Amino acid sequence: MNPAAIATLQQHLLRAFADLPPEARRLFHGRGRQWPGLEQITVDWLQGVLLVSLFREPDEAELAELRQMLLALGDSPAWAASGAAHLLLQHRYRADSATDYLLGAPLERHEIDEDGLRYLLDFGRKQNCGLFLDMRMGRRWLREQAGGRRVLNLFAYTCGFSVAAIAGGAERVVNLDMSRPALSRGRDNHRLNGHDLSRVGFLAHDLFNSWGRLRREGPYELIVVDPPSFQKGSFVLTRDYAKILRRLPELLTPGGQVLACCNDPGLTPDFVIAEAAREAPQLHYRQRLDNPPEFADIDPDRALKVLLFAVD
C-alpha cells in the first residue's frame, strides 16, 4: 500500500462519493486484485457509515498515510454532501478485528437497506458487521423463488436469506446456526421488516447433530448452504462440505433446489460440483449465480461461488 496506491484509492472514493448508491454497497473491492498495492483493503458504504477494512497489517508509515487520506475525505465537500456521519477503519488482520472511529461517535445499532428490506448492523464488536454484501444476488434469487415454499437456511448467521425468503412469500423458513446471538439478531431483522415470526424457525444447534430435527421440520423445496471456510472446532469446508451434501436429498421434495455457496478463494466452483456429484448424485448442477458487479475479481473462480443444484 504505497503512496501511489493510496492516491488511487482516494480518487476512486471521490468518484464514488459523487454518485453514492441509495442502498448499502461495496464502493471499493481491492480483494478482487484489480488495483496493485490495494489487494488487502475494502470500502463499504453503509448509508451514513463508511467502513474501511484492512485485511493485512500495513507498516506504520502506510497506516498513517491511509488515515490522513481518509480524514481528508471526511473533510471534503463530497463527504459533507453525502450526509455521512461515521468513518470507521477496521483492522481485520487482528484477532479482535479492532475498529477505529476516525469520525463520528461509536454506534450501538445501525440500519441499512437492500432491495427494499432492512437489516441491522453492529460495528466494532465482531469481525463481520451482520450482512455479507457480496451475497446480494443470492438473496434476490431466493426472494424470487420462495413464494409458497418451505426453505431451510443452513449456517444462517443473522438470517439474511430468511428475511429475503419471507419477503418473497415463503410458507416457512427454518434457520440453523450454532450462534444464538446471531439468530437473535436474525429475529430482530425479521421484526424490523414486519414479518410474521410464526413462519420462521430458529435452531441454535450443531448441524451435524441435528439431521433428525431437520427431517421432522421438512421436507423443503429450497435449501441454502452458506458455510464458513473454517470455524475452529466445528467446521472445515474442505473436509465437511461433503458431509452436508450427502444428507441434502433426504431433506428435499421432488424437484427441490439447493443454493450451495463457497467463499474460499482457494477453491473453484469445480470443488463443490465434484463433491455434489460424488456425495449426492441426485443433485444436478444447474448454474452459477452472478456476483454483484462491484465485487469483480481478476479471477472469477477466486470470488464468491453461489451454485444452484436441483433434484430431477
The last residue of one of the domains, among 59, 89, 121, is 121
Does the structure show a pLDDT above 90 at 108? no
Contact (CB, 8 A) for 20 and 47: no
Looking at the structure, tell me whether residues 189 and 228 fall in a common domain. yes
CATH number for the domain that contains residue 286: 3.40.50.150
- Classify 40 as helix, strand or coil: coil
Q: Which three cell numbers stand for residue 306?
A: 453461489
Mean pLDDT for 17-33 is 95
The single residue listed with the C-alpha cell 451454485 is 307
How far does Cα 160 stand from its chain's mean position?
8
What is the number of domains present in the chain? Answer: 2
Does the structure show a pLDDT above 90 at 228? no
What are 112-130's pLDDT values in tens digits?
999 999 999 998 767 788 8
Residue type, 256: G
What's the chain's average pLDDT? 95
Does the structure show a pLDDT above 90 at 229? no
Does the structure show a pLDDT above 70 at 233? no
pLDDT of residue 248: 97
Looking at the structure, tell me whether residues 139 and 112 fall in a common domain. no
Looking at the structure, tell me whether residues 181 and 71 fall in a common domain. no
Contact (CB, 8 A) for 275 and 293: no
What's the predicted TM-score (pTM) here? 0.94
CA distance 282 to 76: 57
Looking at the structure, tell me whether residues 165 and 84 fall in a common domain. no
Q: Which three cell numbers stand for residue 57?
A: 497489517
What are 277-308's pLDDT values in tens digits?
999 999 999 999 999 999 999 999 999 999 99
* Residue 231: CB atoms within 10 Å: 14
How many Cα atoms are found within 13 Å in the side-chain-facing hemisphere of 238?
A: 5
Looking at the structure, tell me whether residues 57 and 172 fall in a common domain. no
CA distance 118 to 73: 28
- Classify 181 as helix, strand or coil: helix
Looking at the structure, tell me whether residues 140 and 262 fall in a common domain. yes
DSSP state of 94: S
CATH number for the domain that contains residue 17: 3.30.750.80
What are 36-54's pLDDT values in tens digits?
999 999 999 999 999 999 9
What are 55-104's pLDDT values in tens digits?
999 999 999 999 999 999 999 999 999 999 999 999 999 888 899 999 99
Looking at the structure, tell me whether residues 233 and 137 fall in a common domain. yes
Contact (CB, 8 A) for 179 and 207: no
Q: Is residue 128 a part of any domain in this protein?
A: no
Range of the domain at 23: 3-121
Does the structure show a pLDDT above 70 at 159? yes
Cα-based distances in Å from 293 to 26, 32, 57, 137: 10, 11, 27, 10
Torsion-angle region of 181 (φ positive above 0: left; ψ -120 to 50: alpha; else: beta) = alpha
